[in-house]
Amino acid sequence: MRSTRHPWPFLVLTLALIFARAVPAPAQPLELQPGEAPVEELKLAPDAELGGRSVLVRGTADETGMRYYAVKLDVMSPTVIRVFADDPALPVRVSLHRHLWDKSDAEGGTDAEGNYEFTGRLDDMIGIWLTAEEPADFHLLLWTGDPVPVEVPPIFFDADGQPIRPAEEE
């Protein structure tokens, strides 16, 4: 008697492998595609004057632009991104990217006084792309404060309705 094996497990596995290879993996802001604007990592350092951590860079934006990224940002820390155009008559366009360089999550530009500011919270990584119609010198400041403490409310209660708190760590 001949054994009959169903081809379904093999067929399902083969199709799964084909579809897994067909789906393109999203590019990260850290990845540089050929012919694109250069990318530079912003390394945050402790800031005695402002508190928290910060980095200040100077550069020149043009049509291709300058791209910067920062990693290991804490969503519990307030974050400020400021761009100062050296010449307010030459505006600098700013776009912020969380996952992909080709998809902007926030856009803006320097105002009549040459300033741009983003204030908020960022999780893990941010990409910053600065461009201008004609070469424009700028200063970029990225500051992140100390994490804001959060008290978590109790989730367990005893029979009398009193909260049960975990033992304090030593």
- Band (53; pLDDT cuts 50, 70, 90): very high
- 126 Cβ contact partners less than 8 Å away, ≥ 6 residues apart: 29, 69, 70, 73, 79, 81, 96, 97, 98
In angstroms, rounded to a whole number, what is the distance separating the alpha carbons of residues 138 and 92?
8
Note the pLDDT tens digit of each residue in 118-132: 999 998 999 999 999
> What are the structural domains, with CATH classification, of the chain?
39-144 (2.60.120.380)
In angstroms, rounded to a whole number, what is the distance separating the alpha carbons of residues 93 and 111?
10
Note the pLDDT tens digit of each residue in 55-92: 999 999 999 999 999 999 999 999 999 999 999 999 99
Rama region for 90: left / alpha / beta (φ>0; ψ in -120 to 50; rest):
beta
